[in-house]
Amino acid sequence: MHVHAVLALGMRTTVEITDEQRARLLQEAARRGEKGFSSIIQEALEHYFEAAADRQARVDRARQAIGSLNGEEADRLEKEVRSLRRTWR
């Protein structure tokens, strides 16, 4: 199914969604008292972009940590991790 989404700036685009997704969007819009579901799509996109940026920031921090431990610290951390993993179920 093709759906036309209108952004706040008046930009239109076509997005392919399933009939079930359209029905759920319309149901949510009705629950909110909204005529259409553009605001729901906008919220979902903002949430996605924020989550993606958060994930990338975590990856960047992890990459920066590479090589930051000396040999003794790395050995101690590895032993602690192995100990914790033995207790995981």
User: Which tens digits make up the pLDDT trace of 59-87?
Assistant: 998 888 888 888 898 899 899 999 999 98
Domain-wise residue ranges, the chain: 2-87
User: Which tens digits make up the pLDDT trace of 26-37?
Assistant: 999 999 999 999
Contact 8, 42 (CB under 8 A): yes
Rg (alpha carbons) of the chain, rounded to whole number:
23
User: What CA–CA distances, in Å, run from 48 to 16, 42, 43, 52, 53?
Assistant: 17, 10, 9, 6, 9
